[in-house]
Amino acid sequence: MVPNNILVVEPKPHKMNPWRRNGRAVVAKVRANGDVRQSIDRAISLLGGLSHVFGRGDKVLVKPNFNSPDPFPASTDIPFLRAVIEMLLETGAKVTIGESSGGIWRPSRNVFRKKGAYELARDLKVELIPFEDRPDEWVRIKINGDYLKEVTMPRSAYEADKLVYLPCLKTHRLARYSGALKLAFGFVHPGERRGYHFSHLEEKLAEVSLCWQPDLIIMDGRKTFITGGPDSGETVEPRLILASGDLIAIDVEAVKVILGYRAKNRLPSEPWKLTPITTALKHGLGADRDAYIVIGETDKKN
């Protein structure tokens, strides 16, 4: 159930994507080597470095994918999460980890425990929030979507100075693809999520991002599901890490990675035809095909 009498607010102001070159959004794409932190650092350096956006005292909420306790790529790899948080802490930012798991795996604290997230948070001295455990955690955000007019979202994310998304790269049995746009679905109050599945799920997945947009997205594509998902599927190893501030551009490039493999999934042959992408474009949530560039190392297969 969604709580009653919660604060109704406007969407967070739409910020200009800070990771741009010559007026175009940037997607950094690097080959991951054995050291995950070095690989992440290379991708961020190609964008311009964390200090370009994050600094001392910034309240940063990091959103991993802990939809289920299943191993990466079903959920965020703990060493990957550790590396990102360590890098943010080194800028002087105050970091919080927040997430709410999928329905059949909740309560989220059980997923956190199985993943080792509590130990990580203690080691790094950061807060870890299972959103649904806090009755006063929610705000209702008014948006002008075609299918969603209001969305109940976590207050801790709404009040954060900066947001960092850490999506996995994978297919999804219901949504076809799960990446940066889909990651925001984990913010939605559990009492609303089930109803979203009854009709126009893919459009609603995109419209959730009308509430706010992330300051940075770092996608772990070292492994990916090219069938199934979100918790299991046929796994390949593209060995890639992608980074961007643009929800659409990074998802388009990620879908291209999956399409580089022969697999029986429900993805269209052209990423721009994927419904969350077309919906996000309609609402101005990211760059069109001529408004972004990809820099860095690229996998020959893709």
**Residue 71 DSSP class:** P
Residue with tokens 């964008």: 47
Angle at 206 between CA 49 and CA 142, to 5 degrees: 100
Q: Which amino acid, 169?
A: L
- With beta carbons less than 8 A apart as the criterion, state whether 156 and 136 touch: no
Q: Which of 214, 216, 236 is nearest to 225 (CA)?
A: 236
CATH number for region 8-295: 3.40.50.11440
Residue 296 has a pLDDT of: 92
CB 240 within 8 A of CB 31: yes
Give average pLDDT by consecutive 10-residue segment, the chain, 302 residues. 88 94 97 94 97 97 98 98 98 98 94 98 98 91 96 97 98 96 96 91 97 98 97 97 98 98 95 98 96 78 38
Q: What pLDDT sits at residue 297? A: 67
> What pTM, to 2 d.p., does this model score?
0.96
Instruction: Give me the residue spans of the domains in the chain.
Output: 8-295
Do residues 99 and 63 lie in contact, with contact meaning Cβ atoms separated by under 8 Å? yes
